[in-house]
Amino acid sequence: MPDESFISEPPKELVLPDGFRFTHGQVISPFTIVYETFGALNAEKSNAILVCHALSASAHAAGKYAPEDKPGWWDGLVGFSKPIDLDKYFVVCVNLPGSPFGTTAPKNVDPATGKAYGSRYPWPTIEDMVQSQKIVIDHLGISHLRSIAGGSLGGMQVLMWCAMYPDFSDSIIAMATGSAVPVTGIAWHILGRKIIEADQCFKGGDYYDDDERAGESLRGLQVARMLGHMTYLSAESLQRKFGRRRRGNTRQFEIDSYFEYQGQKFAALYDANSYIRVQAAMDEMDLEEQYGDLKTAFARWRGRTLLVSFDTDWLFPPIETERVAAAMRALGIEAHHEAMISANGHDTFLMDYDLISPAVRAFLR
């Protein structure tokens, strides 16, 4: 697999002059959806794959805007001659409602008030995320997808597509995910939200004071991210990377220094209102609760299905993936569950391309 990335196109904007209606009823109008595309759509518009991003990522799934930039978040999987092969497929990735990377977000100014939406921004759902993707896909004139792929929160969107638009794609690829976040993950997420809300500077979400970057130094967001980041790792990877080692000649544990680096880096890029909303959306999705049971949720889905789990994943242990696979198989769906062995926990789907690429390549062949 070639290591080089490619130069990607800049993000595109789709402005909805009549606004976007959230599941819970609120409308933000106008509403901008930012998305990126990779590769070329064929004349029949029949070679499109939708890629769904996770919590901390953006529409920038692959490639680099310029040679000196960092590549997109799934660059190891999406590219020319890569498993999601741009010689063959046209890939679309949509920045989800709530996320601070382009699509109208809590930190953006409401033209009606001249102030950031802040606490008034709706609490989006996974259905809203799917809906925003559907709007972009429709806008591009694509009436059918070859596949829909994603991991973690992205994988939850993939499964939601099967329930909401079961005829729309030939196949799905969902990694490190499930039809609902189990209680362990809910607990970590709730703690993260409490940490942010406990920060006196958070002010109930209205902390911008006419500066959409005011949230960048929120200590609550930094510490919440440290906790979040930890849950994406595993006991093995923590032991291997850090153990009980101290930093240089100091008594500070290396894991402490690493947490500070990750927390500060993340808070400078992300936004606290976005963080609590996107995580809450994950926690609220529960296909069993919403459809009665998983067989009903997937009753009309008939596409080929690749589900991938990792044995050390703290957030979505393999049993969560297997529940989805079992429900699908009971419906006669061709569902492959690749239960992979990895020391890297939840984030394996973003890290270990040697491990995941062969399965994706074989599945899409």
Binding site for a second copy (CB under 8 A): 180-184, 186-188, 190-191, 194-195, 198-200, 219-220, 223, 226-227, 230, 235, 238-239, 242-244, 251, 253, 255-256, 259, 283-284, 286, 289, 317
* Selected catalytic residue, list 152, 169, 237, 274: 152
- Known active-site residue 199: no
Distance of alpha carbon 346 from alpha carbon 176, whole angstroms: 6
154 vs 345 by CB, closer to a second copy? 345
Distance of alpha carbon 130 from alpha carbon 136, whole angstroms: 10
Give whole-number Cα distances, 101 to 12, 107, 300, in Å: 12, 10, 33
Q: Which residue has the tokens 């889905």?
A: 301
- Known active-site residue 346: yes
Distance of alpha carbon 349 from alpha carbon 77, whole angstroms: 10
| Residues pairing with 32 in the sheet | 15
* Min CB(220)–a second copy separation in Å: 6
* Selected catalytic residue, list 85, 199, 271, 313: 313
**Rg of the chain's alpha carbons, rounded to an integer?**
20
* Min CB(142)–a second copy separation in Å: 35
- Known active-site residue 229: no
Alpha helices in 204-352 (DSSP H): 219-232, 235-241, 254-269, 272-284, 287-291, 294-297, 318-330, 348-351
* Min CB(43)–a second copy separation in Å: 46
Distance of alpha carbon 98 from alpha carbon 108, whole angstroms: 10
* Min CB(244)–a second copy separation in Å: 6
* Min CB(286)–a second copy separation in Å: 6
Residue 117 near residue 100, CB atoms below 8 Å? no
101 vs 202 by CB, closer to a second copy? 202
219 vs 329 by CB, closer to a second copy? 219
Alpha carbons within 13 angstroms on the beta-carbon side of residue 96 total: 32
* Min CB(239)–a second copy separation in Å: 6
Nearest 5°: CA angle at 165, between 162 and 166? 55
Distance of alpha carbon 167 from alpha carbon 148, whole angstroms: 12
Q: Which residues are catalytic?
A: 152, 313, 346
